[in-house]
Structure 1
Amino acid sequence: MQNEQVTQTTAPSLFKLGACLIYEALVVIALSLAVTTIFVLSLGEATTGVKRYLLQLFLWLTVGVYFVWCWQKKGQTLAMQTWQLKLLNQEAQLLPLKAAILRYILASLSLMVFGIGFFWAIVDRDRLFLHDRLLKNKIIYAPRKTALPHPPSET
């Protein structure tokens, strides 16, 4: 599956990218609530001190595992599957582990700077996020292959 080739290279619309980001935020919120619950039940309140920073690091790493695993294994997160988007490298293949980790780190940094790397897609000719432009990745519109209905059987 790592060398899966995709010939479709149509860039998604800004609407699809934005809708996917909103859906992705909902998934991250749900995952974060579940992980925070586990953390607090295991280690107690985490509103101050070292526990607060440990919780933040634990959340960042957990969300990172979700994204990196999805990008590396399928090229799609849950939101990307819903909006029929796929992340590929410049050879039109799924991202290797190191590239997926680097993408997560750069995307995180982009969010810390008011999301500038995501807004970059508005002015980019290929509608790429800044971290994808730098890493030579692309998000493409990849519609699902629908199965043709079976003809009725004659008996």
Structure 2
Amino acid sequence: MASPSPSRPAALIGWRVLALVYDFWPVLALWMVASAAFTFAYTWSGHATRENIPPFSALQWVLWVVCWLITGAYALLSWRRGGQTLGMRPWRLKLVSIDGGAPSWRALAIRYAMGSVSLLLAGLGFWWAWLDRDRMTWHDRASGTRMVRLEKR
């Protein structure tokens, strides 16, 4: 079934990539806070101050999962609050459901999970938008949402 034609133009892949780059910086700051907390807990548990968390240890994998969850919380709360993250605002991008309304929490969670898979596959789900007739990414299709570009004020 074809999706209804949007009233606003679809967001092009270039704008989405720029928004991701912009959003990387606040997320990186949140990751640093989480890493500092893990490092403090690691040294507090009896390890030497100059000793790093061992690579590929269970604690390091837990830190990766925590950072992924922090990033998800940032994205979902931003999308739910106004349809935009900090990185989407300068490029006038907004996330809406296919029918034009606000997406549900479930749709946002599906979008974040599929977007993560897409990024892990070298962004293949993002690049798919160039081939898609409606310019939608994998996570747009899976979640029933779409990214639109707002008009200039």
Per the normalisation by structure 2, the TM-score is 0.79
Give unmatched runs, 5+ long, in structure 1: 1-6, 146-155
Which residue of structure 2 aligns with residue 100 of structure 1? Answer: 108
- Go from structure 1 to structure 2 and tell me whether the alpha carbon gap of 1:114 and 1:14 turns closer, same or farther (over 3 Å shift): closer
Report deviation, 1:8: 4.6
Structure 1 residue 144: Cα displacement: 5.9
Structure 2 gaps, min length 5: 1-5, 44-51
1:18 CA displacement: 2.5
Change (3 A) 1:126 1:25: farther
How far, CA to CA, are the matches of 2:14 and 2:117 in structure 1?
23
Q: Residues 70-98 of structure 1, C-alpha deviation per residue, up to 9 Å, x if partnerless?
A: 11111110001121100011121121111
The residue that corresponds to 1:12 in the other structure is 11
Structure 1 counterpart of 2:30, which letter? Answer: L
Which of 123, 143, 146 aligns to 1:138? It is 146
SS in 2 for 1:93: coil
Does 1:46 pair with 2:53?
yes
Q: Distance in 1 between matches of 2:131 and 2:31?
A: 31
Pick from 70, 81, 93: which aligns with 1:62? 70
Task: Write the deviation string for residues 59-116 of structure 1: whole angstroms up to 9, x where unpaired.
Answer: 1111111011111111110001121100011121121111111111111111122221
Give the 3 Å change call, closer, same or farther, for CA 136–116 of structure 1 in structure 2: same
C-alpha separation between the residues in 1 aligned to 2:151 and 2:28?
26
CA distance in structure 2 between the partners assigned to 1:112 and 1:38 by the alignment = 26
1:32 alignment partner in structure 2: 31
Within-5 A mapping of 1:74-153: 74-143=82-151, 145=153
Task: Give yes or no for contact 2:76–2:108 (8 Å, CA) kept in 1.
Answer: yes
- Residues 16-60 of structure 1 show CA distances to partners (whole Å, capped at 9, x for unaligned) of 222222222333333322322232223344333211111011111
With normalisation by structure 1, the TM-score equals 0.78
Q: Is contact 2:27-2:74 (8 Å) kept?
A: no
Any conservation in 1 of the 2:110–2:139 contact (CA below 8 Å)?
no
The number of residue pairs the alignment matches comes to: 139
CA distance in 1, matches of 2:13, 2:113: 23
User: For 2:91 and 2:121, how far apart are their aligned partners in 1?
Assistant: 26
